[in-house]
Amino acid sequence: MVAGGTAPAAALTEQVPGPVGPTQPADEPDTVAALAARDREREDALAELFHTHHVGLVRLASLLGAEADAEDVVAEGFYELHRRWGRLRSRDAALPYLRAVIVNLVRMRTRHLMVTRRHVEVGPLDVGSAESEVLVKDDQRAVVRALAKLPDRQREALVLRYWGNLREAEIAEAMGISTGAVKSHVSRGMASLTKELGADT
């Protein structure tokens, strides 16, 4: 579950509308039929999002550093979206919100692993799960290994920009930073990535 302060606020309305969904007219009564119709609409929208974007979101989580937990991270992201559906600005805000939740969940996972590894003696790091390896083509594995060595924010910015094909404003929303910071992280990340890949050749 996304802990306090980690859920992106940009996609949510300022006030919680309760059972009123993002598409419900303000004067529509809360009848059983109206509530059931809104529930069906939400479930249909979530199913469509899952069908259209699940594989890409798992790839995104994997490239961000979720490794074997990528599927679980995406599932938790969909859970958070389902839970907060009634607070979305609009239905179009669902995918950006989901991306931002996934970025935050991977960050939390990374921090947790860093703390755990400080206190527990661990063996060599697993390069990645079978699932994450299948998601990445052979000719991209060197890039993925180099990405894993970058600072978190640089890796996130590069993955969202070049694998997610997002615009700077969308990346800023997903990462919770300014567009200027996005430009800086992309620029520094590309320089570090180029250097790292050059060292491997």
What are 20-58's pLDDT values in tens digits? 344 445 555 678 888 888 889 899 999 999 999 999 999
Q: Which two tokens stand for residue 35?
A: 């509530």
Q: Which two tokens stand for residue 136?
A: 């990445």
Q: Where are the domains positioned within the chain? A: 1-136, 137-201
Of the candidates 193, 95, 80, 77, which has an alpha carbon nearest to the alpha carbon of residue 146? 193
State whether CATH 1.10.10.10 applies to domain 137-201: yes
Contact (CB, 8 A) for 111 and 65: no
Q: Rounded to an integer, what distance in angstroms lies between the CA atom of residue 46 and that of residue 33?
A: 20
- The model's confidence at residue 12, banded by pLDDT at 50, 70 and 90, is low
Percent of the chain residues past pLDDT 70, beyond the cut: 70
pLDDT at 7: 56
Task: Mean pLDDT check: name the lowest of 15-24, 61-70, 117-126, 188-197.
Answer: 15-24
- The model's confidence at residue 105, banded by pLDDT at 50, 70 and 90, is very high
Q: What is the mean pLDDT of residues 144-163?
A: 89
Average pLDDT value over all residues in the chain:
78
